[in-house]
A and B are shown apart, each in its own frame.
Chain A
Amino acid sequence: MQFIIAGVGGQGILFASRVLGHVALSRGLHVNGSEVHGMSQRGGSVISHFKMGSYASPLVRAGEADILLAFEQGEGLRNFHFLKKRGAAVVNADRPEAFSDPDLSAFLEAREIRLFRVKGYDLLREKMGGRFLFLNALVLGALAASGAGDFRPGELRDAVAELAPARFREDNLRAFDLGFEALSRGE
């Protein structure tokens, strides 16, 4: 299974790939992926490649990703070409009008992309006092609710609980649950 995680530097993309790595290892699968460190972390566009299973290359090839996690809507849309046919995208969406673009719809239909949108910024603003630091956990929660990737119930949540620094564990789990519940309710 191959993932692309897209966002901007500082959104905790590396934490998300560590969570997926933890899950893979506990399933007895190999882990391979590629991260961005250094200059691009300063608020610039960042994508992380992540694979579970037997792969030699850390990089996902365009058209091969099973799942795209987008911490930023624009960064997600810029990287939709990574998705394979019937791939799934979990997007922190803040500008719904973009999805009514006919060309974008044509792409999504042609590739049969399963699109899951969650209003991460609104949820964090309303429910967690605007602590956007926890967006990564929220998106992982939405991923768990989406059914994409066939994660076992609790599998991702447990990994978040295990990897989050102790003082932020509760907040991370709260954000995870916000994402999970929002998508489950179909908001």
Chain B
Amino acid sequence: MNTRKVLLGNEAIARGLIESGCDVITAYPGTPSSEILPAAAAFADELGTKTVVEWGANEKVALEVALGATFAGKRACAVMKQVGLNVAMDPFMSAAHFQLEGGMIVIVSDDPGCHASQDDQDSRGLALFAKIPCFDPSSAEEARAMVFSAFELSEKHKVMAMLRPAVRIDHCRQDIEPGEVSHASAPANFKTRPAGHKVVMPARILPFLEAHNARFEAIRQEFETEFGQYNFEIPSKKPASLGVIAGGVSFAIVKDLVEALGRDDVAILKIGTPVPLPTKRVEDFLARHERTLVLEETFPVIENQVVDRTKIMGRWNGWVPKEGELVPEVIESVLLRALGVEPEADPALESLAAAREKLKLAVKKPVLCAGCGHRPSYFAIRKAFPDAVIASDIGCYSLSIQQQAVDTIVCMGASITVASGLCCAWRSEGAEPQRPVFATLGDSTFFHNGMTGLATAVYNRHPFVLAIMDNRITAMTGGQDHPGTGDKPRRNETGTSVDLEGAVRGCGVKYVKVLEAYDVEGNLETIREAWAYAKEQGEPAVLVFRHPCVTMLKARPEKRPVTVDTQKCVGCRICQDRFGCPGLAWDGENRKAFIDGRFCVDCGVCVSACPHGAIVRIGEVR
């Protein structure tokens, strides 16, 4: 019987975590890393382990919890996306400078091509910065195996290790052979002696730096001579006219490409441990080839660790593009150019391009789901205050940019602090805000990094309205729990739901009101009242727009079907440009809105989006 299972890359990593006996796994969700923790919980349930699997309120929290577990000798892992590591940078750097008692891995998922991120930073570079080893998988199977290796290396050298999958490995789907749990940690034991061992203080760190550098070099030596399963050469059948050094998914792509093109004169060196780079392996390969292409995502981490780059065709000399994802088409064009092959013009593709142009086939941008509570919340704020500055945040609601209701997005929690900054800008002229100032963020983002900003705003008396878009879940990343929901990833485990309004009041806010997000008309008055309060009292007011995420509903919602009265529709497009629901489409020929039954969920909220009363209910609520 075939025992292989088709798993998502993230599930393969999760499988590796459970099989390698990781005792504590923590994370904050972020694409492309989000599926690792729930999958780890599912495998832990399936295999009956006692693994602790927990969401942290943010990545800093997650990493610190994992580190604390290693202080008692346990294997621990913190999972996050690349920009999550920025949030966790403080404990990350501290953790790098310990001699750990339990194995520790930080799994950081990168997003070349910015599919779901604000930048394309390369976490391997941060491993180099912290002087910790980094594994860069080229397949799901390898990612799973690397979890074992990373723990063993971490324990051998008492150093935190990084596993850096990029999006195409996180979200690949491949068949792998699952195994069983093959490691057990010693019982939890916090050793108080030697004193100061687990303290970052100048007096301990400064003398430790030499040992930290020495272990980094010792690991480099190991990567030179061992770990041949991750660092290996695919020699060319004929004398090579080109060498290629590649890591991550770029290796997989170029390997298939060289085979598909039938090029028997291209040799490949795969690098699965880019930090610290096994420099001798690389230099030896470079010495044997006249010219060598280096393919890696996204930053030239391998390339920059080579001292003599004269033979390297990479980013430093423009052979490899500095931005954008290295998709197969890009790698093909770079490889062919390096081989001196002229690309053939394909008239068929020109015809296709011409047809696409005529048929106006634009890429569809993501939109808020039909029935989403964020849409009417933003619509109501904009309707109440057309001239408000609306500082938004990271989450589904950032999609409200197409409702022209989002003016700024920076990073997790920065809606609140940017609103504070705007208040300070006017205050620096001795004035009150000259426009209504709103900050908007979700419940998960509020617990992630909103509370410190809010306490600061209360403390400094910044007059703005904070609207918390509370849909009771971390929605954009696929529906993960957070302190506000109280639910936990492992079966039969429940947590405590942290009261959102209580947290807001705890930050010192006196004006807190909870609204039903769907009730646009009813909420207008309260929105105006909240801004008046903030302005008059000179302090933040908080509105909680509550409606559960429509993708997570457990019970069927009431059906309130609607239709567009074409006699009343004047074609003003307000419902399109300011409300913008997939269920409310536009008939360009007749210049009227219409209900698109493919997407409409009968929530009935759009009735209040039409200033002309053209969207009307059909029959009774069901």
Contacts and interface: CB of A to CB of B under 8 A. Distances in A.
Interface of A: 8-10, 17-18, 21-22, 24-26, 28, 30-45, 50, 55-62, 64, 74-75, 77-78, 80-81, 98, 101, 103-104, 106-107, 110-111, 121, 125, 130, 132
A110 B351 contact: yes
Nearest to A56: B252
Contacts of B252: 56-58
Contacts of B361: 74, 77-78
Contacts of A80: 352
B356 A42 contact: no
Given A25-B2, A110-B348, A38 B116 contact: yes
B172 interface: yes
Given A43-B364, A57-B253, A103-B358, A130 B597 contact: yes
B351 A107 contact: yes
B396 interface: yes
B584 interface: no
Given A42-B369, A43-B367, A21 B348 contact: no
Interface in B294-352: 327-329, 332, 347-349, 351-352
B367 A42 contact: yes
| B34, B367, B368 pick with most chain A CB within 10 angstroms | B367
A125 B332 CA distance: 43
Nearest to A10: B369
A74 B359 contact: yes
Contacts, number: 167
Contacts of A35: 8, 171-173
Interface residues of B, number: 58
8 contacts: A32-B173, A38-B116, A58-B249, A78-B361, A80-B352, A101-B359, A103-B352, A110-B351
B351 A59 contact: no
Given A42-B399, A45-B364, A57-B253, A107 B352 contact: yes
A139 B116 CA distance: 28
Contacts of B4: 25
A61 B330 CA distance: 10
Interface stretch (B254-262, B278-286, B415-423, B563-571): B254-262
A56 B355 contact: no
Interface of B: 2, 4, 6, 8, 31-32, 34-35, 115-116, 138-139, 168-169, 171-175, 249, 251-253, 255-257, 260, 327-329, 332, 347-349, 351-352, 354-356, 358-359, 361, 363-369, 396, 399, 476-478, 582, 597-599
A60 B352 contact: no
B32 A37 contact: yes
B476 A43 contact: no
Contact of A44 (B173, B355, B367): B367
B355 A37 contact: no
A64 B257 CA distance: 11
B116 A61 contact: no
A9 B369 CA distance: 10
B175 A30 contact: yes
B174 A38 contact: no
Given A38-B31, A74-B361, A110-B348, A61 B257 contact: yes
B6 A45 contact: no
A56 B347 CA distance: 30
Contact of A103 (B256, B257, B351, B367): B351
Contact of B174 (A32, A45, A101): A32
A14 to B, nearest CB: 9
A172 B128 CA distance: 50
| B356, B369, B597 pick with most chain A CB within 10 angstroms | B356
